[in-house]
């Protein structure tokens, strides 16, 4: 029998929230939910064909009178249309702005009494939330949602602090599918990238926004490379890309830093890596940490946001203060120079993901929430 009908509103582009929303939709479809993605383009990780997953494209009206075509209005209109036509039970909005706001608007337009669950991913709170002009709107999105979740305890606390809201917020961590087939260790790839077999590989993956502090990844690597023969793989693209390239030039690291741009197959790149660096100044969770740890790659991250909810210092990686480049470099050198230490952390990294962040165990929490929202007798959401 088909389960509930869920509409998922998300950014489909490369980014953790899009990955989480897409993986959630695929898993729900496997549990016999009917899943309707409402977005501008097909979610990028939706690679398989599911008979109970539908995609509804938001087309943005582009009339000459609009200097800025109103994407948000088109989205709200599309959500309302899909809710009524497909008889949805729930809209799961990823991001308060604009997705929760548009869902609330759509609920008012639609004929059905749908429930709205909003998942906060970080940028909506830690970046947009501190902008006075958006604060009221984000607070409204949070308070008018039927249920709100945050991807870490840290993000939940920040949301309460910034918005002074009494809204109940449930923490549901991000997750990863460990059943996905992972490529065998591709020795040829190291060779193809010009990395000698005996050299260590550091990796950083992000959207190169300022908050990711890729500059500090370069600073740390510049020290590491003086002590350990190594290369740094930089995966991703974004606003800071040009500055990062110039910095690599200035430090004469061109032969050791490999810019790969956006890549689909990051698992293969992780497989040839020895350590992952995530030195962000804002990070509500850090989904890339799970991707690395699932491959047994120890991670070194900053003691920021939700990162300490994923990395346990000294157990499956290391936590360092933001900007403490010396310590970051020192810990990395230590880890790369001590084989048995590396093996211990690598094993713990994989085990940690298996124990706490597998799709099945985490998505159950979303399913419970859906049930509580639509069947008030089951839980507290009325």
* Binding-site ranges for ligand GMT (CB under 6 A): 15-17, 20, 121-123, 126, 151, 174, 207, 209, 211, 282-287
Nearer to ligand GMT, 29 or 97 (CB): 97
Task: Provide, rounded to whole angstroms, the least separation between the CB of residue 98 and ligand GMT.
Answer: 13
Task: Provide, rounded to whole angstroms, the least separation between the CB of residue 18 and ligand GMT.
Answer: 6
Pairing type for strands 257-261 and 5-9 reads: unpaired
Given a contact cutoff of 8 angstroms between Cβ atoms, the answer to whether 373 and 115 are in contact is yes
Nearer to ligand GMT, 100 or 211 (CB): 211
Nearer to ligand GMT, 228 or 307 (CB): 307
Nearer to ligand GMT, 88 or 211 (CB): 211
Task: Provide, rounded to whole angstroms, the least separation between the CB of residue 280 and ligand GMT.
Answer: 6
Nearer to ligand GMT, 231 or 352 (CB): 352
Nearer to ligand GMT, 138 or 224 (CB): 138
Task: Provide, rounded to whole angstroms, the least separation between the CB of residue 24 and ligand GMT.
Answer: 11
Full 3-state SS string of 293-350: HCCCCCEEEECCCCHHHCCCECCCEEEECCCCHHHHHHHHHHHHHCHHHHHHHHHHHH
Nearer to ligand GMT, 209 or 243 (CB): 209
Closest-by-Cβ residue to ligand GMT is 122
Given a contact cutoff of 8 angstroms between Cβ atoms, the answer to whether 77 and 117 are in contact is no
Say which residue the tokens 């429930």 belong to. 115
Task: Provide, rounded to whole angstroms, the least separation between the CB of residue 174 and ligand GMT.
Answer: 5
Question: Helix, strand or coil for residue 234?
Answer: strand
Nearest to 144 by CA among 95, 80, 78, 96: 96
Task: Provide, rounded to whole angstroms, the least separation between the CB of residue 42 and ligand GMT.
Answer: 17
Given a contact cutoff of 8 angstroms between Cβ atoms, the answer to whether 175 and 363 are in contact is yes
Task: Provide, rounded to whole angstroms, the least separation between the CB of residue 165 and ligand GMT.
Answer: 19
Dist CA 85 CA 82 (whole Å): 5
Could you give the C-alpha distances from 146 to 1, 134, 170, 173, in angstroms and in order?
Answer: 26, 20, 12, 19
């Amino acid at each position: 029998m088909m389960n509930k009908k869920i509409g998922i509103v998300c950014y489909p582009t490369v980014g953790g929230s899009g990955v989480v929303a897409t993986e959630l939709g695929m898993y729900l479809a496997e549990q016999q939910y009917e899943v309707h993605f409402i977005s501008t383009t097909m979610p990028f990780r939706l690679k398989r064909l599911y008979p109970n997953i539908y995609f509804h494209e938001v087309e943005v009206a582009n009339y000459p009178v609009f200097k800025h075509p109103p994407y948000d209005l088109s989205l709200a209109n599309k959500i309302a249309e899909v809710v009524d036509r497909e008889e949805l039970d729930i809209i799961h909005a990823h991001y308060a702005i604009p997705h929760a706001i548009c869902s609330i608007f759509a609920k008012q337009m639609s004929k059905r009494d749908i429930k709205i669950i909003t998942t906060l991913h970080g940028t909506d709170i830690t970046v947009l939330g501190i902008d006075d002009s958006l604060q009221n709107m984000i607070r409204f999105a949070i308070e008018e949602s039927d249920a709100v979740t945050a991807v870490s305890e840290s993000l939940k606390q920040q949301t309460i602090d910034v918005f002074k809201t009494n809204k109940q917020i449930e923490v549901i961590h991000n997750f990863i599918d460990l059943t996905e087939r992972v490529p065998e260790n591709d020795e040829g790839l190291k060779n193809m990238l010009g990395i000698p077999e005996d050299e260590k590989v550091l990796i950083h993956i992000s959207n190169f926004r300022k908050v990711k502090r890729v500059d500090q990844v370069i600073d740390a690597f510049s020290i590491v490379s003086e002590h350990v023969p190594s290369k740094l793989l930089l995966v991703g693209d974004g606003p800071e890309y040009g500055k990062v390239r110039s910095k690599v030039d200035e430090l004469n690291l061109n032969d050791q830093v490999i810019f790969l741009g956006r890549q689909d197959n990051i698992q293969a790149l992780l497989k040839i890596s020895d350590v992952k660096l995530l030195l962000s100044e804002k990070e509500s969770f850090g989904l890339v940490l799970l991707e690395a740890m699932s491959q047994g790659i120890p991670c070194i991250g900053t003691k920021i946001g939700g990162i300490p909810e994923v990395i346990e210092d000294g157990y499956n990686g290391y936590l360092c203060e933001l900007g403490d480049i010396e310590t970051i470099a020192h810990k990395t050198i230590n880890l790369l120079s001590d084989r048995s230490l590396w093996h211990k952390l690598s094993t713990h990294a994989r085990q940690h993901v298996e124990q706490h962040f597998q799709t099945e165990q985490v998505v159950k929490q979303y399913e419970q929430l859906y049930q509580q929202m639509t069947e008030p007798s089951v839980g507290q959401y009325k």
